[in-house]
Every structure is written in C-alpha cells, then in structure tokens.
Amino acid sequence: MTRIVVVTSGKGGVGKTTTSAALATGLALRGFRTAVIDFDVGLRNLDLIMGCERRVVYDLVNVINGDANIRQALIKDKRVDNLFILPASQTRDKDALTQEGVEKVLNALRDDMAMDFIICDSPAGIEKGALMAAYFADEAVVVTNPEVSSVRDSDRMLGILASKTRIAEQGGGDIPARLLLTRYSPERVMRGEMLSVEDVQDILAVELLGVIPESQAVLSASNAGSPVILDTDSDAGQAYLDAVARFLGEDLPHRFLTTGKKGLLGRLFGGQ
C-alpha cells in the first residue's frame, strides 16, 4: 500500500527540502519505489538539491493540467534506483494547484507507477501550496529548528494537520506526525542560545524521528546537487540515515545530542 508523507513546517528555511530529498533517497536506498514531489510552485528548489534541474521538461502543474502524463514528467534519479522526482513549476502561481488535480497526480503515482512512498515537499507557511501538499497525506514529518519562532510555527502546523487533511475531514482525527529537529548544536544549547531537544519535545509533544546536527555538509551537498544522506562520512548524512531507519520502524538511539570532546588536532584546527 502506498504511503503518502508530507514534509512540512510553519517556517521557511528550516530544511524541509533537504529533508524531503534525504528521506526519499534513504527510502529508495532501502529498495522502496519512492517519488518526491515539489509543491513549492513558483519557487522550486527540489530539482536543484537532487541535481536534476537541467532534466526538467514537464512539471507538477503540467500533469495537473493534462499537458503531460506522469511518466513524461517524472525524472528518474541517476544515482539511486527506485527514486523519482516530480518538480514544481517555476512559471505558475499556487492557484494552479487544485484538490482534484493533486489527487489525480497522487493516484497516477500509486496506480500507474506503483510507488511504495510518495514524499510531498511542502512550501513554507499555511497558504494553498502547503495545504495541498498536506491534504492527502497519510502521515507527516514536521521539520523545525531549535528556536522559539520555528517551534511555534511548527505547533501551528500540527493544528492544521489535525483539522485540514482529508483524513481529518472524514473523521479520522490527526494524521500521525513525527518531529525532525534540524541544525542542532549541543554547544549552543549549553550556552543557552537555542532550545534543547527536551524543550522542543515538551512544546510539540510529538514523537522524535531524528536530530540533524548543524553541519557544513548540508550546504555543500545542496550546492553539489546531491542529497546529504549520500554523504555517509558526515554527521548530517549519518543522522538522516538513522532517521530513515526509525521511519521504517527500527529502534535506534539518537546520536549527536551531546558535545563531543575534540582531540588536540581538533582543537587546533577546528575539526568537525
């Protein structure tokens, strides 16, 4: 059975697209047929992070409007089998997204392409693109940074997930939601400059899927057009691999929550 997962938050710049790319790539590495859809119509970025921007011919809105079918619009990843990208349109506005159109795309991915997972990369905020990304979801990954405004906005998004999805409208209640905490720095937590994991969990009261440490590897991977989960030497890549394992039901301890004491060379040269 196809699982539709929305990756969302209330605030921009917290790492939703990085997370969508990593989660989709990690699931495909595990052998699941996985599609990741960019719902940020007008401001697409997923194709850049996935390194396929030059291969975009058709997009999500083209499929919704019937200008192309799902097989024409999907881009098959060159590095990972079973991974497919559906980019957003750069030239339309978010009014091009309709409930009927989005349902048609999701049904085509499920029925025609036999996807195991569909990852919906939501735009920031609570406007139409974000609501369309979340409406048909079976579950959610809520991405937040450990700072007050980001956590507050994520809390608001949890309220929307509990009331404005198809499952909620049909009386099914909340969709399952899990928390992914990004850009976490134990050193800054110790200095009181950001919230701790416990602080965030106390506020949001949802299951913790993973903690992604603050890392230059994330920016480097994005600039290289490669999901950071493929950088298995980096802390961030390893943390995303752990998060995918937990997403699939494995019980793994959370890493990168405490400060690691550096050796002499690390202290001298600022090794990460």
Instruction: With H, G, I as helix, E, B as strand and everything else as coil, classify residue 114.
Output: coil
pLDDT reported for residue 264: 47
The per-residue pLDDT for 260 is: 62
Q: Kindly give the confidence (pLDDT) of every residue in the chain, 272 residues in length, as a single tens digit, with 9 standing for 90 and above.
A: 999 999 999 888 899 999 999 999 999 999 999 999 999 998 889 999 999 999 999 999 999 999 999 999 999 999 999 999 999 998 777 778 999 999 999 999 999 999 999 999 999 877 788 999 999 999 999 999 999 999 999 999 999 999 999 999 999 888 999 999 999 999 999 999 999 999 999 999 999 999 999 999 999 999 999 999 999 999 999 999 999 999 999 999 999 998 765 544 454 554 44
Q: In what order do the strands lie in the sheet with 75-76?
A: 75-76, 83-86, 34-38, 117-121, 3-8, 139-144, 177-184, 207-213
> Three-state DSSP class for 154?
helix
Which of 257, 248, 213 shows the shortest CA–CA distance to 234?
A: 213
Cβ atoms of 137 and 102 within 8 Å: the answer is no
pLDDT, residue 263, reads 46
Return d(Cα 110, Cα 60) in angstroms, integer: 15
Contact call for residues 49 and 16 (beta carbons, < 8 A): no
